[in-house]
């Protein structure tokens, strides 16, 4: 549901104090100074989609400042995206200042001082997410901060309608769907940051190559875990499933096929050993992460051309004249099992 906070029922002389409390409790601690002389009017509606917080702010002209004194070392590092829906703003962070018009985006870090100056009444969406969910360097975020991002072309043209749709969702979603939507947001934001900071595709691929190597090593170490899946692999490396799949776009296989192929390779090697007692086929399959013997037999035969029992018999037979099947062909695709304190004058709306 949406949590809606408004100055409507607050006495005029208390509105500014109340709005400071509202903004600091809902977003991050900040100081708000109204620009007008009359009673201040403001409204903020907030909801969560997975680990993503979305707030829509409608308010009179004001100046917002997050100073060093308001930033504590214990605060969780957050990245925020502001989407200007109506009105304009002047945004400053990291020694740069930019004019933000309707339809523009700004990306900023809440762990560094910043300010917004809204000269007239405005509406904006604010998306906040943990910094750890973004797999881009700090330097890329800081190169973007302090710059307005126009949404008429490039990745921003795709991101803008997605953000406005997220902010206007009228119903709650099951946790698994909510987290996927949050992951989609992270993926698009990461792509936008890469596009803006490495426009010629000149981003070094050393970081991606190192990450891909760690993922492969993780897979090899956990082949025996029947719950090994794209979701568990992505979670172990603090990335989204979509980003994990993107890592493999330049490879000759997918994550699921790699897991299956490596499992089959280990099973075939163990079943082909000679000179000592070999465990049963079902025991070998179980040791390398196959929970269903029937499924294991089916994918093994598809990869090696013979059932696992025949593979074992062919390789353990004493006669050198017996044929030896060729190595595994590319394995078929397999689907793997995959608060803040709220001030008074609080209103809850179903969403």
**52-59, strands of its sheet edge to edge:** 105-109, 78-86, 122-130, 52-59, 42-49, 2-6, 346-349
Give how many domains the chain has, as a whole number. Answer: 2
Q: Is there a domain that residue 343 lies in? A: no
Q: Is there a domain that residue 264 lies in? A: yes
Q: Is there a domain that residue 344 lies in? A: no
Residue 204, C-beta contacts closer than 8 angstroms, at least 6 positions apart: none
Q: Is there a domain that residue 345 lies in? A: no
CA 69 to chain centre: 30
Q: CATH number for the domain including 320?
A: 1.10.10.60
177 and 89, same structural domain? yes
Q: How many CA atoms lie within 13 A of 62 on its CB side?
A: 24
75 and 47, same structural domain? yes
Ordered per-residue pLDDT tens for the chain, 351 residues: 789 999 999 999 999 999 999 999 999 999 999 998 889 999 999 999 999 999 999 999 999 999 999 998 777 889 999 999 999 999 999 899 999 999 999 999 999 999 999 999 999 999 999 988 887 778 888 888 889 999 988 889 999 999 999 998 877 788 888 888 998 999 899 889 888 887 765 444 556 777 788 888 899 999 999 999 999 998 888 788 888 888 888 777 899 999 999 999 889 888 887 765 667 899 999 999 999 999 999 999 998 888 999 988 887 765 443 344 444 444 443 333 334 444 455 554 444
Question: What is the DSSP code (8-state) at residue 149?
Answer: B
Buried b (16+ CB within 10 A) or exposed e, 223-247: beeeebbbbbbbeeeebbbbbbebb
Name the 3-class secondary structure at 326.
coil
Residue 325: give the domain boundaries. 206-338
Q: Which residue from 275, 329, 278, 333 is spatially nearest to 301, judged by alpha carbons?
A: 329
The radius of gyration of the chain from alpha carbons, rounded to an integer in Å, stands at 27
- Domain end, chosen from 203, 224, 254, is at 203
- Domain end, chosen from 146, 176, 203, is at 203
- Domain end, chosen from 156, 186, 203, is at 203
Q: Which residue from 331, 329, 325 is spatially nearest to 296, judged by alpha carbons?
A: 331
Tokens of 17: 């104090």
Q: Is there a domain that residue 351 lies in? A: no
* Residue at token pair 């691929």: 205
What are the C-alpha distances in Å from 257 to residues 130, 209, 310?
31, 19, 23
196 and 221, same structural domain? no
d(CA 82, CA 36): 23
């Amino acid at each position: 549901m949406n949590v809606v906070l408004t100055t409507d029922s607050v006495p005029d002389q208390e509105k500014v104090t109340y709005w400071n409390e509202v903004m600091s409790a809902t977003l991050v601690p900040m100081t708000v100074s109204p620009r007008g002389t009359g009673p201040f009017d403001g409204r903020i509606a907030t909801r969560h989609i997975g680990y993503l917080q979305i707030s829509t702010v409608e308010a009179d002209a004001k100046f917002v400042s997050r100073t060093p004194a308001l930033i504590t070392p214990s605060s969780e590092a957050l990245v925020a995206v502001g989407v200007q829906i109506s009105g304009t703003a002047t945004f400053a962070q990291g020694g740069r200042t930019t004019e933000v018009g309707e339809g523009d985006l700004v990306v900023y870090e809440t762990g560094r001082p910043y300010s917004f100056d809204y000269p007239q009444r405005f509406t904006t969406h604010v998306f906040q997410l943990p910094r750890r969910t973004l797999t881009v360097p700090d330097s890329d975020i800081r190169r973007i901060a302090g710059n307005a991002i126009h949404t008429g072309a490039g990745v921003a043209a795709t991101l803008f309608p997605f953000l406005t749709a997220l902010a206007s969702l009228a119903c709650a979603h099951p946790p698994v769907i909510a987290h996927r939507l949050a992951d989609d947001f992270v993926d698009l934001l990461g792509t936008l940051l890469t596009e803006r900071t490495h426009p010629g595709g000149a981003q070094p691929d050393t970081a991606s190559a190192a990450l891909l190597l760690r993922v492969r090593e993780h897979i090899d170490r956990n082949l025996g875990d029947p719950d090994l899946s794209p979701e568990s692999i992505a979670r172990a490396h603090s990335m989204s499933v979509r980003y994990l799949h993107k890592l493999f776009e330049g490879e000759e296989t997918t994550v699921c096929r790699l897991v299956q192929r490596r499992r089959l390779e280990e099973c075939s090697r163990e079943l082909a050993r000679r000179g000592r007692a070999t465990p049963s086929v079902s025991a070998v399959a179980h040791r390398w992460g196959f929970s269903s013997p029937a499924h294991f037999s089916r994918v093994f035969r598809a990869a090696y051309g013979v059932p696992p029992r025949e593979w074992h018999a062919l390789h353990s037979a004493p006669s050198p004249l017996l044929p030896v099947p060729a190595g595994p062909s590319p394995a078929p695709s397999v689907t793997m099992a995959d608060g803040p304190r709220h001030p008074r004058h609080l209103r809850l709306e179903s969403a």
